[in-house]
């Protein structure tokens, strides 16, 4: 049996919750799951931009008519909304099998001493606090059936800190620590905890970081060949379609011309 067919069988009929699903890695992951399963999956797609999610659902409905998709607006930084969101999912989407904690952001490149307090809070609320809150809301579903996958999107910035990225780096180090601790807490279960840490990926990430300045955002990727969102999505789907006794626990993914945040070949 081919690897692709095995993966499709392991993913069949599973329900996936993806945060930050309106664009970038989140959107690519939704489409990659459907490709890998031949559309035989249920997706819960959450993000702040409902109009983008509805556009994505239209695309999915056309390309994967057998897939079941629920889209919902959710600001994950509003902690009080997370548990009700999970509890009020439509019945056929309640039994989540895979949680992809994808939503995240960086804001600015200010040095310590010049960072706006609101930027600090926004980054930690999104990258750390919300990820923990969503995980805590979904974990009881996994514990009740003793199965499930939790995928946390880290970053090379959570392994190798760099100047002008202190807050973002600190948030991703926190994601790594939380993921590692959770995996150790769950070793007596069949729940898998997965950390995927990308390097340079061309998405809206830099545009958000540079507050809409397209020229600055483009310069991040100038004269190099970065990863694209579907490269990371491919790894997420691969990790969650392995045999039950296997966990791709911690993976760093670079484009071939990168070796660290400081080592990127441009030419």
Can you state the angle between helices 3-11 and 229-240, rounded to 10 degrees? 80
Choose, from 168, 190, 221, 238, the residue flagged as catalytic: 168
CB neighbour list of residue 80: distance below 8 Å, 6 or more residues apart: none
> What is d(CA 164, CA 167) in angstroms, rounded to the nearest whole number?
8
> What is d(CA 205, CA 105) in angstroms, rounded to the nearest whole number?
7
> What is d(CA 81, CA 25) in angstroms, rounded to the nearest whole number?
23
Q: Is 168 a catalytic residue?
A: yes
Cα dist. 199→88, 127, 190, 225, 251 in Å?
A: 36, 16, 29, 12, 11
Extract the tokens encoding 20. Answer: 């930050």
Give burial (CB, 10 Å; 0-12/13-18/19+) of 64. buried
Choose, from 172, 218, 238, 243, the residue flagged as catalytic: 172
Q: At 201, phi and psi to the nearest 5?
A: -130, 130
Q: Is 105 a catalytic residue?
A: no
The residues annotated with a catalytic role in the active site are 168, 172
């Amino acid at each position: 049996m081919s690897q692709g067919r095995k993966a499709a069988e392991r993913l069949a009929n599973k329900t996936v919750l993806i945060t930050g699903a309106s664009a970038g890695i989140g959107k690519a992951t939704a489409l990659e799951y459907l490709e890998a399963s031949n559309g035989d999956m249920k997706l819960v797609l959450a993000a702040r931009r409902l109009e983008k999610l509805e556009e994505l659902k239209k695309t999915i409905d056309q390309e994967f008519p057998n897939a079941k998709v629920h889209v919902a607006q959710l600001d994950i930084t509003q902690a009080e909304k997370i548990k009700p969101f999970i509890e009020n999912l439509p019945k056929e989407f309640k039994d989540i099998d895979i949680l992809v904690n994808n939503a995240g952001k960086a804001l600015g490149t200010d040095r310590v001493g010049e960072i706006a307090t609101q930027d600090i809070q926004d980054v930690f609320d999104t990258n750390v606090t919300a990820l923990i809150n969503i995980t805590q809301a979904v974990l009881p579903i996994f514990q009740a059936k003793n199965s499930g996958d939790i995928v946390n999107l880290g970053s090379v910035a959570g392994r190798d800190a760099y100047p002008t990225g202190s807050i973002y780096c600190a948030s991703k180090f926190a994601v790594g620590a939380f993921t590692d601790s959770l995996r150790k807490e769950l070793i007596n279960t069949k729940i898998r905890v997965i950390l995927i840490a990308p390097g340079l990926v061309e998405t809206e990430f830099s545009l958000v970081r540079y507050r809409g300045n397209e020229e600055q955002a483009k310069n991040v990727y100038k004269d190099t060949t970065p990863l694209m969102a579907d490269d990371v999505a491919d790894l997420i789907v691969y990790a969650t379609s392995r045999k039950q006794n296997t966990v791709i626990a911690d993976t760093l993914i670079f484009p071939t011309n990168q070796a660290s945040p400081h080592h990127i070949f441009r030419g």
